[in-house]
């Protein structure tokens, strides 16, 4: 049995030798705390994916740089061919000619084409025709990237900063709250919570438990959902104290799957709570208020709790 568990753990490329505490499988933002080595660059990189997921400043910096470099390149070509083969070049020094060529290139690649400057002979015409085609393709690409960046689906689920151990019915439960702050409507929301901690009998190895939830799926998710694992007879948390949790380096891995009605796409969200992110003997404040024929919810109060005695 023990061997089996170890194999399972190892299979997933997670750590099986946790003699020292402080191990975290999932970062708070849902990314894996795993680094990959020796992956050839070309295998690792998905250019589209990178360009779609990078920040807007990085994205625009890359765009501007590409635009600048390509114009430098074509300006050089026009200068090499000779700016006397372009009409309307007014510069006389090499630098001025290069500048004029640079802006002619910019007018060509964006298909702006004022026409003050225009190609006169065969080579300049060929370069200009090629450049304008290339410009259109590059902007085709930029269009796709813009769309990809904007339409990229993501679950905007926000987690309560802390998980709680609070009374639940006549026992206790581990609970945390999630909220959908966006206007996107999420439906058919499914949650799964896995507990990872050091083995009681062997702190060198880790054990994993899929926790039973009060409810693991809701069809409608208007705004807020408190996910509860009742610490019942079969719960691996039964009899585990706050100190035990710290000592055994517990981590609650949360995995939420939902359907984003706005984008008609399935989205996922992952997060985790470490032992020091669990509060004992606190309960979430009730945030729903009557509002005409409907209700209103104070989403900002997601982290509000009050002291309560545990069962």
Task: Tell which positions 160-179 bind a second copy, by CB under 8 A.
Answer: 169
Task: Return the range that interacts with a second copy (CB under 8 A); candidates 74-82, 185-193, 195-203, 235-243.
Answer: 185-193
Task: Return the range that interacts with a second copy (CB under 8 A); candidates 63-71, 77-85, 199-207, 236-244.
Answer: 63-71
- CA nearest neighbour of 68 among 152, 167, 138, 165: 138
- Binding positions for a second copy, 64-83, rule CB under 8 A: 64, 67, 71
- Nearer CB in complex with a second copy: 107/235: 107
What would the x/- binding string for a second copy be over residues 88 to 127, using CB under 8 A?
A: --x--------x---x--xxx-xxxxxxx-xxx-x--x--
Report yes or no: 168 and 175 within 8 Å, Cβ to Cβ. Answer: yes
Question: Among residues 5, 182, 209, 247, which is the contact residue for a second copy, using CB under 8 A?
Answer: 182
CA distance 222 to 224: 7
Distances (CA, A) of 61 to 97, 158, 245: 27, 30, 46
Residue listed under structure tokens 């300006």:
75
43 binds a second copy (CB under 8 A): yes
CA distance 105 to 89: 12
CA distance 33 to 14: 9
Task: Return the range that interacts with a second copy (CB under 8 A); candidates 72-80, 130-138, 196-204, 233-241.
Answer: 130-138
46 binds a second copy (CB under 8 A): yes
311 binds a second copy (CB under 8 A): no
- CA nearest neighbour of 154 among 270, 58, 25, 32: 270
Question: Among residues 5, 32, 98, 171, which is the contact residue for a second copy, using CB under 8 A?
Answer: 32
CA distance 74 to 55: 29
Cβ of residue 226: shortest distance to a second copy, in angstroms?
5
């Amino acid at each position: 049995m023990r061997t089996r568990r170890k194999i399972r753990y190892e299979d997933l490329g997670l750590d099986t030798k946790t003699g020292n505490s402080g191990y975290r499988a999932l970062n708070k933002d849902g990314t894996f705390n795993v680094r990959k080595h020796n992956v050839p660059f070309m295998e690792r990189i998905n250019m589209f994916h990178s360009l779609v997921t990078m920040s807007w400043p990085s994205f625009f910096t890359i765009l501007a740089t590409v635009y600048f470099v390509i114009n430098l390149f074509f300006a050089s070509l026009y200068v090499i061919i000779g700016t006397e083969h372009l009409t309307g070049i007014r510069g006389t020094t090499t630098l001025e000619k290069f500048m004029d060529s640079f802006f002619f290139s910019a007018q060509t690649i964006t298909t702006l084409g004022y026409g003050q400057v225009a190609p006169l002979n065969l080579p300049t015409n060929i370069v200009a025709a090629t450049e304008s085609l290339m410009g259109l393709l590059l902007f085709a690409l930029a269009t796709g990237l813009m769309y990809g960046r904007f339409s990229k689906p993501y679950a905007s689920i926000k987690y309560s900063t802390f998980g709680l151990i609070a009374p639940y019915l006549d026992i206790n439960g581990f609970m945390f709250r999630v909220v959908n702050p966006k206007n996107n409507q999420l439906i058919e929301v499914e949650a799964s919570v896995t507990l990872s901690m050091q083995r009681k009998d062997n702190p060198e190895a880790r054990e994993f438990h899929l926790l039973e939830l009060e409810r693991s799926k809701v069809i409608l998710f208007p705004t807020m959902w408190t996910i509860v694992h009742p610490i019942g007879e079969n719960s691996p948390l039964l009899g585990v104290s706050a100190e035990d949790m710290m000592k055994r380096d517990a981590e609650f891995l949360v995995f939420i799957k939902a359907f984003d009605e706005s984008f008609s796409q399935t989205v996922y969200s992952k997060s985790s709570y470490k032992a020091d992110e669990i509060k004992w003997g606190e309960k979430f404040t009730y945030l729903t208020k009557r509002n005409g024929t409907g209700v209103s919810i104070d989403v900002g109060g997601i982290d509000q709790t009050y002291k309560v005695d545990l069962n």
